[in-house]
Amino acid sequence: MNPQGRRRSATLVCLGLILASSCSSSASSKAREPQGSGRVVEVAQLPAEHRELLKAYGAGGATWEAARERALADPALAQFLVENLWLETVRAYRSLGGVQAGRAQRALERAREELARFGGAAAPTVAAALELGDELSAELAADVLAQIGRPGLAAVSELLKNPTARARQRAAMALGRMPHGAREEPQLREALVLASRDPDWTVRTQVARTLGARGARDLESAPWRLALEASLADADPLVAQAAAESLVQLDDPAAIPALIDALERASRSGETAVFGAAQAALVRLSGAPEQPSVEAWRAVWRAYLTRQKNR
């Protein structure tokens, strides 16, 4: 099965863990068979190892701790459990406004914590919701992936190459919430810079926001700044606006000349939203009050350079 097929099956497999919560809530005795068949069966028809794993989750405590360790050591059991943990997460989240909201909240918190424990093993299943899920599932997946952290970065960044623009946009959104990748960060940054030239404007807009968010968490701002400066000249005003706003996050005054150029372009084209975003960014990065003209901003920049030189 190709990788996309594996991701697709991951969203369909067993509902057994939800059931295990006789364990967490009243549940049907139906479940889907393991390994992506999608066929609904009685829980009793699942393999014994899977049934015992579900019972252990319901029991909690030391019983569950031992069962989790066994699952972590067995890729097939780990995948079975991860898929069910994700389904439990979605089910609990959708139940938060119901009559058993407290129980749903506890189930949600527990399932999310368990997915985070599985780390990289859980990431492909959760990331699949960015490609295949509805908006609610995608938002939830982004939050869970942020909780998984660095082990999930590879699975999410792979979606930046997905043929569907929606999946690429959601992947960029999730990456904006995820932590710094340490040694992986330069490679991830390169992938985002490439995505900043995506043919779809919604992807480029989200990538601009993510470049600002991730760049603000990095020790060096220059590579992120250069990418955002290029996006200031994007043909779509929403992309340029997002780039101006993201440059504020980097807090790098070296972006001021590019922002002045963007201000000038926006003034000539009548793009008021871009003009406003560039003006606001210039005020924040320079510390100067709002200026009446492009030339006045250029004078501010010259004065800044003079002060830096005389220090």
**How is residue 155 written in tokens?**
């699975």
Confidence of residue 311 (pLDDT cuts 50, 70, 90): confident
Domain hosting 164: range is 3-179
Partnered with residue 30 across adjacent β-strands are: 42
Residue 126 lies in a domain: yes
Cβ neighbors of 131 (< 8 A, separation 6 or more) are 4, 7, 159, 162, 164, 166, 167, 170
Query: Which pLDDT tens digit goes with each residue over 126-177?
Result: 999 999 999 999 999 999 999 999 999 999 999 999 999 999 999 999 999 9
Q: Give the pLDDT mean for 37-63.
A: 81
Q: Is residue 49 part of a domain?
A: yes
When divided into structural domains, the chain yields a total of 1
* 264 within domain boundaries: no
Encoding tokens for residue 166? Answer: 């929606």
198 in a structural domain? no
What is the C-alpha separation between 17 and 45, in angstroms, rounded? 14
**Nearest CA among 137, 173, 140, 139 for reference residue 156:** 173
Locate 277 and state its tokens: 């975003």
**CA within 13 Å, CB half, 181:** 22
User: 234-250, pLDDT tens digit by residue?
Assistant: 999 999 999 999 999 99
Establish if 175 belongs to a structural domain.
yes
Nearest-5° Cα angle at 133, 213 to 228: 20
SS3 of 235, please?
coil
Q: Is residue 142 part of a domain?
A: yes
pLDDT tops 70 at residue 23: no
265 occurs within a structural domain = no
Smallest CA-to-CA distance from 203 within 233, 179, 175 is with 175
The per-residue pLDDT for range 80-116, each reduced to its tens digit, is 899 989 989 999 999 999 888 999 999 999 999 999 9
13 or 71, greater pLDDT: 71
**Domain assignment of residue 101, yes or no:** yes
One-letter amino acid at 218 equals D
Half-sphere exposure of 73 (CA within 13 A, CB side): 6
**Spatial contact of 90 and 137, defined as CB atoms under 8 Å apart:** yes
Q: What average pLDDT does the segment 65-84 reach?
A: 92
